[in-house]
A and B are shown apart, each in its own frame.
Chain A
Amino acid sequence: MREKILSLLETNSRIDLADLAAMLGLTEAEVANEIALMEKENIICGYHTMINWDNTSSEKVSALIEVSVTPHRGLGFDKMAERIYQYDEVSSVYLMSGTFDFTVLIEGRTMKDIAYFVSDKLSPMDGIVRCATHFVLKKYKDHGTILVDTKSDERMLVSP
């Protein structure tokens, strides 16, 4: 049941509780209770809004940084990650398999903002060996949602 609630919330966090209950064949109280539990258990960590900033007038720049580190004694990956993710401009941090260690997604208002963060904050940090910064040129799809072209229903209005 949890999985079904989650996958519906994942695509629409504003879905009506009554609708959610009807769709899953549960009572509203059951669904509300389960959601409250999942919030408490930190399974549901927030309700965000999917925004296509490219369609607004505000300028935003985002970049993906590949970060390699040498974890020092008593300072494992988790500790390193913590030092990185505490920065407000960092939107995501993932530990990776493969040739580098962390993927850091960062958002800034200008390219200069990001350059400053990489050169003055991230690179000089103890244990950081290498940073490769890739600026995002265009977002096509984010969090399972296609951001370019919106599709209309092309079906005939009535068919057998």
Chain B
Amino acid sequence: MREPLNKKVQEIQPSGIRKFFDIVSEMDDVLSLGVGEPDFDTPWHIRDEGIYSLEKGRTFYTSNSGLKELRQEICNYLERRCHVSYNLENVFITVGGSEAIDLAIRAMIDPGDEVIIPQPCYVSYLPCTILADGVPVAIYLKEENQFRLTAEELEAAITPKSKVLILPFPNNPTGAIMSREDLEAIREVILRHDLFVISDEIYSELTYSGEHVTIASLPDMKERTILINGFSKAYAMTGWRLGYAAAPKHILDQMVKIHQFAIMCAPTTSQYAAIEALRNGDRDVAKMRESYDQRRRFLMTTFKEMGIDCFEPYGAFYVFPNISRFGLSSDEFATRLLQEERVAVVPGTAFGDCGEGFLRISYAYSLDALKKALERMDRFIKKLEQEKA
């Protein structure tokens, strides 16, 4: 039989998280701090709208771009929360933020074009770039910069082939955010080198130091930014698979073209639920944000007591402690922590090579669960220290 598989696909490494997941699912009694999704249920009034739409028999396709009503609500939302104005023709609905990332890369990248990817970062940017025949160029973000992207780092990564910059803030896995000043500094480099930006802002509502700032709201940036957001993190709607992109019309039209052939339209039920989320969900978001923030502070305090180094993150629901002083690699640390104390965390290397020496710990868990897991982790660290002594 002939080789049935595409070479490019075969060469892509499966996500490092996958490997870990396989080990974890074989074990019992595991306390996990490894998830990348909220621990809240979708607020009931939003779920209820989804149910109601089914009762009303709204079980058909929507237009490729998504319900007009929902797109209008997204425009209102972006104006209200991010101070950036878009028209209906600039917004379309995708199956989660991840589809929008894939489409944006595919719509813009020709073979050989370089995509600048600041790491550590979410796992999909790199394989999506490779699948689009683009060339990923990693920037290794540094802990001493609180894992923000600096103008110097960006400048150093640019070549004549650079075309797109991925801007993933608030960041999974580090929890880093970019302030207005940070964005202004890189804006100048972006404009000078005529780059486009794919700004993945899926965690925008989970910002704990003032308001989230989108780079699209800076002067001359809307024309070259694909703003990606969604409902998963802000409204605890991961399973509904709903996201969106806001972009200049000529880019968006090409994204919609791929979307119409590959996907058709985002789930109709989810779209109706999302309208309710945007209209009446601000209070739910505020409540969940406050709860994450409390757990974030608790974790930072406890780490300090345990003697774990960790820069203070102000976004998403992750902390990214530095465990290099224990003399184990991220992978060894995470594997032993799992085997010896039954606590699952994700090694930093799952998010890029520069994640070596770090762990991603999610605080999308109840206080009780966090406390129990941290107690076990504390015991593990004491053991490591004894081994070293």
Q: Residues on A close to B: CB < 8 A?
A: 4, 8, 15, 19, 22-25, 153, 155-160
Contacts and interface: CB of A to CB of B under 8 A. Distances in A.
A155 B39 CA distance: 8
Given A19-B367, A155-B37, A160 B17 contact: yes
A22 B371 CA distance: 12
Contacts of B30: 157
Interface of B: 15, 17, 20-21, 24-25, 30, 32, 34-37, 39, 122-124, 172, 290, 294-295, 297-298, 301-302, 344, 346, 350, 367, 371
A29 to B, nearest CB: 15
A157 B32 contact: yes
6 contacts: A4-B290, A19-B298, A22-B297, A157-B32, A158-B21, A160-B124
Contact of A23 (B124, B297, B346): B297
Contacts, number: 55
A15 B21 CA distance: 33
Given A157-B30, A158-B344, A159-B36, A8 B21 contact: no
A24 B294 contact: yes
B370 to A, nearest CB: 10
A160 B15 contact: yes
Contacts of A157: 21, 24-25, 30, 32, 34-35, 344
A22 B294 CA distance: 8
A20 to B, nearest CB: 9
Given A19-B371, A23-B367, A158 B35 contact: yes
Given A19-B367, A23-B367, A158 B298 contact: no
B351 to A, nearest CB: 9
Contacts of B344: 157-158
A18 B290 CA distance: 18
Contact of A159 (B21, B290, B301): B21
A159 B367 contact: no
B24 A158 contact: yes
B297 A24 contact: yes
Given A25-B297, A160-B123, 14 more contacts: A8-B294, A19-B367, A22-B301, A22-B302, A23-B298, A23-B367, A156-B35, A157-B25, A157-B34, A157-B344, A158-B24, A158-B346, A159-B35, A160-B350
A153 B36 CA distance: 13
Q: Which 8 pairs between the two chains have the least Cβ-Cβ distance?
A: A158-B34, A23-B294, A22-B301, A157-B32, A158-B21, A22-B298, A157-B24, A159-B36
A95 to B, nearest CB: 28
A27 to B, nearest CB: 11
A45 to B, nearest CB: 24
A23 B17 CA distance: 29
A150 B274 CA distance: 27
B17 A158 contact: yes
In this complex, the member of A22, A24, A25 whose beta carbon has the largest number of chain B beta carbons within 10 angstroms is A22
B173 to A, nearest CB: 9
B72 to A, nearest CB: 31
B35 A155 contact: yes
Nearest to B15: A160
A42 to B, nearest CB: 26
Counting chain A CB atoms within 10 Å of each CB, which of B20, B32, B39, B344 scores highest? B32
A10 B203 CA distance: 28
A159 B318 CA distance: 13
Contacts of B37: 155, 159
Contacts of A4: 290
Contacts of A25: 297
Contacts of A8: 294
Contacts of A23: 294-295, 297-298, 367
A155 B30 CA distance: 13
A19 B172 CA distance: 26
A23 B335 CA distance: 29
Contact of B21 (A19, A153, A156): A156
Contacts of B367: 15, 19, 23
Contacts of B371: 19
Residue among A19, A24, A160 with most chain B CB within 10 A: A160
B175 to A, nearest CB: 15
A126 B324 CA distance: 77
Contacts of A159: 17, 21, 34-37
Contacts of A153: 39
A25 B296 CA distance: 10
A23 B346 CA distance: 24
B204 to A, nearest CB: 18
A11 to B, nearest CB: 10
Contacts of B24: 157-158
Nearest to A155: B35
A6 to B, nearest CB: 13
A150 to B, nearest CB: 13
A19 B372 CA distance: 13
A157 B345 CA distance: 9
A158 B371 CA distance: 18
Contacts of B123: 160
